[in-house]
């Protein structure tokens, strides 16, 4: 997409080399050591390992690269958390319909097995998919992410069903064929922002619940709820509207009983990408929907207090204690699962420089909210900042920077330089305290001996 329709990327650029970890992975691991990280999450590129997407042809060079990268981390006792799919589908899989193809789950299972086979002796934490919502809603129900299919009223739902079956197939393959010898865990990462009723009214409470079901319940409920299957209220609305609109069957394709059981419970942990919160209203701030879609189905309004600190990303503001709000809710709803926060972070503009005080403010607030979760006994096993370094930020190109380290994309070696937030983050995780007055000496970064 970046090559065929570059105009849809904010700065018209692409991710062909981006931060180029393929070349500079040793520097990346050095940065992990500088920060004092004991775990790092990254994703595999399906097409780097299987160039045509199918499991019959494995790229030796691709496998060798990931072996080197994983081994370099392990050499310094950094635990790799590996995501199988973070939005980069092999072109041939997309040409076959991508997540709309009912055979997609089989193709994904085969890819997952190749990954388990080659890396599972050392990788013990697997994440099947990053952010089903962003894959299915933004890519198949809207035009805000590749492949920009916007399949009116059905794209998000077809994708959701196939993605969940694909996830479950990978999970069961791991369980049945690899877990006994490799001894790891396999889960999924879902983007869970917090959605709060705008007022105390019952209407707004229902609106917020519908929004939660649409944004993450659609993917979490089938896996983590006791009953399995898609969320009840959302299903009822889509069924009713589909009938009114003259469809012969609901636009939301339900699971068969067998499928529902197969997906239910298919995750050893709940990976959460959390960034922000929104206020939800039943009557105000609503969109104007002319064709069927997930958002037209729920038909609720969204508002954000302008007093919340704004990042460089339109969708990202600092919402007070929202990690705790979101995790407390999930913890209760899904009976205390194991959690990992697999992403959480803050963007700035490329020219904002190295004194990234708003990022520091965000991380201090976020980690405080993490401590509130631990204090409440939530089984939160890990926290991963997004991100170690600047990257190709999808449709925003290089116009939004999330890195603790700046990447100079124009330099021949993609030079990485720590921002002030990197020093503060290092201080927080090494001292396990959040000191609002800590002012780092940012002249030189260093590696603590013995780590
Ligand atoms: C910045 C990272 O965000 C992750 O994706 C998103 C995108 C949008 C929202 N949102 O709340 O609107 C949340 C998360 C993504 O996984 C990562 O690659 C980065 O883009």
Question: How many residues in total does the chain contain?
Answer: 451
Mutate to test the pocket of ligand 1, among 43, 131, 212, 214 (most ligand atoms within 8 A of CB): 131
How is residue 183 annotated by DSSP?
-
Q: Is the CB of 130 under 6 A from ligand 1?
A: yes
Q: What is the predicted ipTM?
A: 0.98
Q: Are 420 and 440 in contact (CB under 8 A)?
A: yes
Domain architecture of the chain: domains with CATH: 6-431 (3.20.20.80)
Tens digits of pLDDT across the chain (451 residues)? 999 999 999 999 999 999 999 999 999 999 999 999 999 999 999 999 999 999 999 999 999 999 999 999 999 999 999 999 999 999 999 999 999 999 999 999 999 999 999 999 999 999 999 999 999 999 999 999 999 998 889 999 999 999 999 999 999 999 999 999 999 999 999 999 999 999 999 999 999 999 999 999 999 999 999 999 999 999 999 999 999 999 999 999 999 999 999 999 999 999 999 999 999 999 999 999 999 999 999 999 999 999 999 999 999 999 999 999 999 999 999 999 999 999 999 999 999 999 999 999 999 999 999 999 999 999 999 999 999 999 999 999 999 999 999 999 999 999 999 999 999 999 999 999 999 999 999 999 999 987 6
Determine whether 448 is exposed, middle or buried from the number of CB atoms within 10 Å of its CB (0-12, 13-18, 19+).
exposed
Q: What is the DSSP letter of 90?
A: -
273 lines ligand 1 (CB under 6 A): yes
Q: Which of 138, 209, 215, 343 is catalytic?
A: 343
State the greatest distance between any 2 C-alpha atoms of the chain, in Å, as a whole number: 68
343 as an active site residue: the answer is yes
Q: What are the φ/ψ torsions at residue 199 (nearest 5 degrees)?
A: -130, 180
Give the model's pLDDT for residue 150: 84
Confirm or reject: Cβ of 346 under 6 Å from ligand 1: no
Residue 394 near ligand 1, beta carbon < 6 Å: yes
User: pTM (2 decimals)?
Assistant: 0.98
The per-residue pLDDT for 338 is 99
Q: Which of 131, 209, 215, 221 is catalytic?
A: 131
Give the β-pairing of 125-130 and 79-85: parallel
Q: What is the DSSP letter of 78?
A: P
Pairing of strands 185-191, 277-281: unpaired
Q: Which residues neighbour 102 within 8 Å (Cβ) at sequence distance 6 or greater?
A: 162
Q: How far is the CA of 386 from the centre of ligand 1 (A)?
A: 9
How far the first Cα of the chain sits from its last, in Å, is 42
| pLDDT of amino acid 451 | 60
Both tokens assigned to 202: 């019952």
CB atoms within 10 A of CB 81: 22
Q: Are 97 and 125 in contact (CB under 8 A)?
A: no
Contacts of 306 (CB under 8 A, 6+ apart): none
- pLDDT of amino acid 151: 82
Closest ligand 1 atom to Cα of 130: 16
| Mutational test site, ligand 1, from 343, 346, 397, max ligand atoms within 8 Å of CB | 343
Element (H, E) at 71: helix 60-75
pLDDT at 449: 80
């Amino acid at each position: 997409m970046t090559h065929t329709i570059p105009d849809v990327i904010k700065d018209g650029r692409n991710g062909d080399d981006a931060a180029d970890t393929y070349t500079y992975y040793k520097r990346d691991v050095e940065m992990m050591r500088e920060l004092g990280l004991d775990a790092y999450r990254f994703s595999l590129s399906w097409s780097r390992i299987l160039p045509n997407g199918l499991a019959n042809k494995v790229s030796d060079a691709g496998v060798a690269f990931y072996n080197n990268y994983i081994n370099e981390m392990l050499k310094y006792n950094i635990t790799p958390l590996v995501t199988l799919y973070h939005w980069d589908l092999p072109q041939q899989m997309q040409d076959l319909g991508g997540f709309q193809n009912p055979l997609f789950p089989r193709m994904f299972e085969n890819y997952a097995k190749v990954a388990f086979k080659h890396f599972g002796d050392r990788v013990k934490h697997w994440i099947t998919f990053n952010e089903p919502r962003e894959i299915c809603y933004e890519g198949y129900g809207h035009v805000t992410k590749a492949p920009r299919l916007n399949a009116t009223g059905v794209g998000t739902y077809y994708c959701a069903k196939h993605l969940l079956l694909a996830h479950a197939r990978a999970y069961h393959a791991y369980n049945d064929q690899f877990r006994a010898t490799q001894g790891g865990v396999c889960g999924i990462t879902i983007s869970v922002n917090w959605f709060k009723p705008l007022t105390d009214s019952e209407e707004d409470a229902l609106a917020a619940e519908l929004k939660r079901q649409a944004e993450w319940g659609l993917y979490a409920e089938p896996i983590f709820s006791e009953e399995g299957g898609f969320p009840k209220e959302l299903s009822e609305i889509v069924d009713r509207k589909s009938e009114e609109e003259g469809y012969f069957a609901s636009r939301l394709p339900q699971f068969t009983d067998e499928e529902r059981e197969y997906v239910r419970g298919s995750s050893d942990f709940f990976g959460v990408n959390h960034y922000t919160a929104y206020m939800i209203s039943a009557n105000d701030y609503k969109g104007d929907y002319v064709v069927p879609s997930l958002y037209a189905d729920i038909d609720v309004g969204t508002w954000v207090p302008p007093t919340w600190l704004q990042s460089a990303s339109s969708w990202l503001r600092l919402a007070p204690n929202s990690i705790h709000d979101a995790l407390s809710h999930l913890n209760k709803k899904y009976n205390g699962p194991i959690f990992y926060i697999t992403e959480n972070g803050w963007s700035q503009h490329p020219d904002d420089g190295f004194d990234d005080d708003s990022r520091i403010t965000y991380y201090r607030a976020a980690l405080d909210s993490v401590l509130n979760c631990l204090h409440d006994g939530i089984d939160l096993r890990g926290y991963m900042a997004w991100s170690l370094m600047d990257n190709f930020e999808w449709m925003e190109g290089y116009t939004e920077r999330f890195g603790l380290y700046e990447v100079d994309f124009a330099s021949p070696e993609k030079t990485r330089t720590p921002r002030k937030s990197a020093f503060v983050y290092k201080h927080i995780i090494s001292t396990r305290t959040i000191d609002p007055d800590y002012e780092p000496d940012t002249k030189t970064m260093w590696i603590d001996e013995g780590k």
